[in-house]
Amino acid sequence: MTAPARSGLGFDASRAKFESLVVLLDGADAGALTHGQLEERLQVEGRELMRLLFQDHLDLRAGRERRAASVVDAAGVRRERVEAGRGRALASVFGELSVSRLAYRAGGYSDLHPADALLNLPAERHSHGLRMLAAVESSRGSFDDAAAAVTRSTGQVLGKRQVEDLAARSAVDFDAFYAQRAAQAVGENAVLVLSFDGKGVVMRRDALREQTAKAAATAQNKLGSRLSRGEKANRKRVAEVGAVYDAQPVPRTAADVIALTDSERDSASTEAPKATAKWLTASINDDAATVIAAVFDEAERRDSDHDRTWVVLVDGNNHQIHRARAEAKARGAPVSILIDFIHVIEYLWKAAWSFHNEGDPAAEAWVHKHARQILEGRARVVAGNIRRQATNAGLDPKQRTGADTAARYLTNKAPYLDYPTALTAGWPIATGVIEGACRHLVKDRMDITGARWGLDGAEAILKLRAIVSNSDFNAYWRFHLDQEHRRVHQSRYAHAKIPHAA
For residues 241 and 197, is the Cβ–Cβ distance under 8 A?
yes
Phi, psi dihedral angles at 417 (to 5 degrees): -120, 35
**Rounded alpha-carbon distances, angstroms, from residue 258 to 262, 310, 341, 363, 418:** 11, 25, 11, 15, 16
250: number of CA atoms within 13 Å, CB side?
Answer: 15
The radius of gyration computed from the CA coordinates of the chain, to the nearest angstrom, equals 31
For residues 104 and 140, is the Cβ–Cβ distance under 8 A?
no
Count of CB atoms within 10 A of residue 229's CB?
5
For residues 407 and 386, is the Cβ–Cβ distance under 8 A?
yes
Give the helix/strand (H/E) hosting 409. helix 401-413
Q: Which residues of 326-338 are buried (b: 16+ CB within 10 A; e: fewer)?
A: ebbeebebebbbb
Q: What pLDDT is recorded for position 450?
A: 79
- Taking the C-alpha atoms of residue 12 and residue 407, their distance in angstroms, rounded to an integer, is 82
**Rounded alpha-carbon distances, angstroms, from residue 360 to 350, 356, 394:** 13, 6, 20
Q: What pLDDT is recorded for position 10?
A: 76
For residues 194 and 299, is the Cβ–Cβ distance under 8 A?
yes
Q: Where are the domains of the chain?
A: 13-18+54-181+473-502, 184-213+234-439
- Taking the C-alpha atoms of residue 134 and residue 162, their distance in angstroms, rounded to an integer, is 9
AA identity, residue 5:
A
Written as tens digits, the pLDDT of the chain (502 aa) is 455 555 556 799 999 999 999 999 999 999 999 999 999 999 999 999 999 999 999 999 999 999 998 999 999 999 989 999 999 999 999 999 999 999 999 999 999 999 999 999 999 999 999 999 999 999 999 999 999 999 999 999 999 999 999 999 999 999 999 999 888 778 778 999 999 999 999 988 887 877 766 765 665 555 555 545 554 555 899 999 999 999 999 999 999 999 999 898 888 888 999 999 999 999 999 999 999 999 999 999 999 999 999 999 999 999 999 999 999 999 999 999 999 999 999 999 999 999 999 889 999 999 999 999 999 999 999 999 999 999 999 999 999 999 999 999 999 999 999 999 999 999 999 999 999 999 999 999 988 887 889 999 999 999 999 999 999 999 999 999 999 999 999 999 999 899 876 5
- Taking the C-alpha atoms of residue 414 and residue 408, their distance in angstroms, rounded to an integer, is 10
Q: What pLDDT is recorded for position 219?
A: 59
Flag whether the pTM goes above 0.75: yes
List 41's β-bridge partners, or say none: none
Phi, psi dihedral angles at 191 (to 5 degrees): -80, 140
- Taking the C-alpha atoms of residue 80 and residue 77, their distance in angstroms, rounded to an integer, is 9
For residues 276 and 157, is the Cβ–Cβ distance under 8 A?
no
- CA 482 from centroid of its chain's CA atoms: 20
